[in-house]
């Protein structure tokens, strides 16, 4: 080791490594080979934490079955816990998108763990005769079982975090539903006036649709918990003791607190990427539905003077460099863009899953990047939508009341009592004269003021209370059968 560097060798030759680096020659080659995204795996802390837990479980299993010295296993175990707790993440330098089916990521982890272990043992970094990244840290393993297990575990961490924010967001919409429960408004179909409802019903609907996606996302976790540790290269378990697969799964459950199961067929499990399509597709569904809600928020708040203007979104920032006073719906807009990205990521995952050949899918790095990014962005989107938008939404009560009073949509509620033809005539008259439906139906003698007031009450118009026999419905004559 000279001039702040050290020399390391592999089967391709020697390279000079910074003496302070915990990564080694395999990471250095990856840094040269994959300058693609300039986005290192340290941008995905869940993946680093997952790798640490997989390596920790492997070390414990290797010690248990007697294929690794207990003192080496203990050092590896200690280092893995340090990494899980947040240490050395900046040393995970390789680009997240890489050739080699994740080998560079696995070797980056092996080298960081080995060199930190050497440091704890009192040796210099790179002295791999004392603790080897491959012979010790990677004992009984292959990238082809470590990497898919780690990215699945990372996705579980990501899904759990998304579920927490998703639930809070649904709760915020539900709270607004209760707050707006008795505020009547006009519902719309195909952007045209339809029939009355309450603003609370609209926001409760947002909460319910989010709750449905919470359930679907939660259902992906058990599928992610099927692992192929012990498969090694292609699923045959070559280089691993026959006791290892059961032992490492048990230890992985112990160190993560998450129930996991070893796949019944390790060859199939090593080549199949179906679960990633399931997770990605479920994320896309949640993103699309969240984006639709944001579209609705932007429409409902449009204006504020020349648009629909039924609700007011919190003003978060000046909306224009040229138009004074303009405020844009920036929070729903950014969530829309997150959804667009998730949709595109799902297409990438689909193509990558299809592109695998024979006993291994070489494209799991881009699958991991796509899904982990989507999970992170969706989590952040749910947070900012809740805190910076939904919690501060207010109703434009006067405008809502005016729209209901002048809307011909309420005539639909009268059709059971006066018939469709008469109701259509009244609607046409109201549109041309701007008279209220209530006044017209009374003035034409079709119903008494008392009956009109009952039928057009907010509770009945919104369906919040069921129709009763308080007003007798007309008996329709059935056509004679011939």
Cβ pair 228, 262 in contact under 8 A: yes
Q: How far apart are CA 47 and CA 39, in angstroms?
A: 13
> Cα 88–94–95 angle (5° rounding)?
130
Beta bridge partners of 95: 40
β-strand 192-198 against 184-189: which pairing, if any? antiparallel
Is residue 280 annotated as part of the catalytic site, yes or no? no
> Cα 396–402–404 angle (5° rounding)?
100
* Residues in contact with 68: Cβ distance below 8 Å, sequence separation at least 6, in sequence order: 59, 62, 136, 139
- Of 104, 320, 376, 436, which residue is the catalytic one? 320
Nearest Cα neighbor of 427 from 464, 450, 418, 473 is 418
Cβ pair 335, 345 in contact under 8 A: no
Q: Using a CB cutoff of 8 Å and minimum separation of 24, what contacts does 168-172 make?
A: 168/382, 168/383, 168/386, 169/210, 169/382, 169/383, 169/385, 169/386, 169/390, 170/207, 170/210, 170/211, 170/214, 171/207, 172/386, 172/390, 172/391
Q: How far apart are CA 314 and CA 391, in angstroms?
A: 9
Nearest Cα neighbor of 27 from 125, 158, 153 is 125
DSSP states of 42-76 as a string?
GG-HHHHHHHHHHHHHHHHHHHHTTSS-HHHHHHH
The full 3-state SS of 165-185, as one line of letters, equals: HHHHHHHHHHHHHHHCCCCEE
* Residues in contact with 472: Cβ distance below 8 Å, sequence separation at least 6, in sequence order: none
Cβ pair 1, 19 in contact under 8 A: yes
Give me the active site residues, please.
320
């Amino acid at each position: 080791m000279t001039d702040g560097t050290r020399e390391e060798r592999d089967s391709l030759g020697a390279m000079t490594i910074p003496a302070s680096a915990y990564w080694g020659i395999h990471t250095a080659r990856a840094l040269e080979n994959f300058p693609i995204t300039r986005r290192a795996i340290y941008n995905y802390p869940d993946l680093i934490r997952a790798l640490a837990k997989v390596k920790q479980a492997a070390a414990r299993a290797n010690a248990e079955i007697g294929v690794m010295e207990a003192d080496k296993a203990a050092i590896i175990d200690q280092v893995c816990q340090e990494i899980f707790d947040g240490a050395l993440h900046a040393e995970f330098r390789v680009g997240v998108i890489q050739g080699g089916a994740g080998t560079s990521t696995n070797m980056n982890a092996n080298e960081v763990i080995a060199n930190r272990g050497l440091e704890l043992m009192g040796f210099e970094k790179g002295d791999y005769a004392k603790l080897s990244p491959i012979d010790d840290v990677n004992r009984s393993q292959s990238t082809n079982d470590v990497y898919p297990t780690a990215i699945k575990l990372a996705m579980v961490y990501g899904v759990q975090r998304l579920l927490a924010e998703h639930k809070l967001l649904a709760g915020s919409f539900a709270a607004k539903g209760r707050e707006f429960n008795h505020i009547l408004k006009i519902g719309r179909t195909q952007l045209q006036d339809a029939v009355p409802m309450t603003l609370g019903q609209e926001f409760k609907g947002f909460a319910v649709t989010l709750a449905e996606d919470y359930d679907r996302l939660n259902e992906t976790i058990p599928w992610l918990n099927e692992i192929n540790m012990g498969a090694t290269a292609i699923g045959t378990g070559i280089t691993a003791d026959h006791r290892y697969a059961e032992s490492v799964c048990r230890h992985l459950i112990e160190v993560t607190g998450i129930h996991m199961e070893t796949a019944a067929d390790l060859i199939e499990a090593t080549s199949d990427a179906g679960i990633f399509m399931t997770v990605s597709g479920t994320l896309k569904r949640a993103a699309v539905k969240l984006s639709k809600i944001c579209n609705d928020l932007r429409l409902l708040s449009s204006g504020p003077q020349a648009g629909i203007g039924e609700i007011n979104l919190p003003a978060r920032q000046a909306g224009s460099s040229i138009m004074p006073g303009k405020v844009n719906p920036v929070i729903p807009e950014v969530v829309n863009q997150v959804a667009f990205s998730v949709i595109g990521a799902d297409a990438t995952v689909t193509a990558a899953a299809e592109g695998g050949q024979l006993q291994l899918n070489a494209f799991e790095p881009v699958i991991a990047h796509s899904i982990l990014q989507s999970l992170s962005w969706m989590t952040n989107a749910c947070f900012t939508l809740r805190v910076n938008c939904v919690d501060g939404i207010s109703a434009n009560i006067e405008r809502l009341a005016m729209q209901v009073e002048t809307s011909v949509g309420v005539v639909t509620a009268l059709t059971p009592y006066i018939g469709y033809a008469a109701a259509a005539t009244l609607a046409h008259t109201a549109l041309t004269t701007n008279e209220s439906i209530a006044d017209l139906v009374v003035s034409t003698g079709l119903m008494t003021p008392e009956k009109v007031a009952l039928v057009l009450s907010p509770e009945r118009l919104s369906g919040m209370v069921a129709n009763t026999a308080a007003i007798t419905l007309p008996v329709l004559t059935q056509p004679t059968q011939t």
